[in-house]
Amino acid sequence: MNKLDLEGTAHLLDELDKKLMVLLRDGRTLIGYLRSVDQFANLVLHQTIERIHVGKEYGDIPRGVFIVRGENVVLLGEIDSTREVELPLTQVSVDDILDSQRKEQELKQEKQRLISKALKERGLHLMSDLTHDDMF
């Protein structure tokens, strides 16, 4: 481990017991209190919620204690409790936000399918559309 890695992880110690927002590599957003961190930047969050945003709405799913591998963290920041109440978003139920998220994902998939179809008609292919035989 080089000096920079140690300094980066050591800075996380200043964030212990603070409410943090953590953006994960898979796109999920977690909000919770940082209770522990190790030399690999693995995190233990307490009273964690997973926040799902769709448009101007959001929903919070309680997750409790959550362990995050450091390699999965894209972004981490402290939540400013004074500004948190001023969010220009509307909170909706978990069922509503999950339904909105599902619909949004279906629309994205349909859009991607139409783009892929248009490219194929022009003789172009996306890498995700190619089979193993097409590549070799």
Alpha helices in 1-136 (DSSP H): 3-12, 81-84, 94-121, 132-135
How, if at all, do strands 90-91 and 57-68 pair?
parallel
Taking 80 as the threshold, does the pLDDT of residue 127 lie above it? no
pLDDT at 109 over 50: yes
Alpha-carbon distance of 48 to 32, in angstroms, equals: 4
Q: Where in the chain are the domains?
A: 1-90, 93-129
**pLDDT of res. 75:** 94
Residue 41 CA to residue 108 CA, distance in Å, equals: 33
Q: Which fold has domain 1-90?
A: SH3 type barrels. (2.30.30)
Please state the pTM of the whole predicted model: 0.74
Q: Strand 19-24's sheet: what is its strand order?
A: 73-78, 19-24, 29-37, 43-54, 57-68, 90-91
* pLDDT attached to residue 130: 55
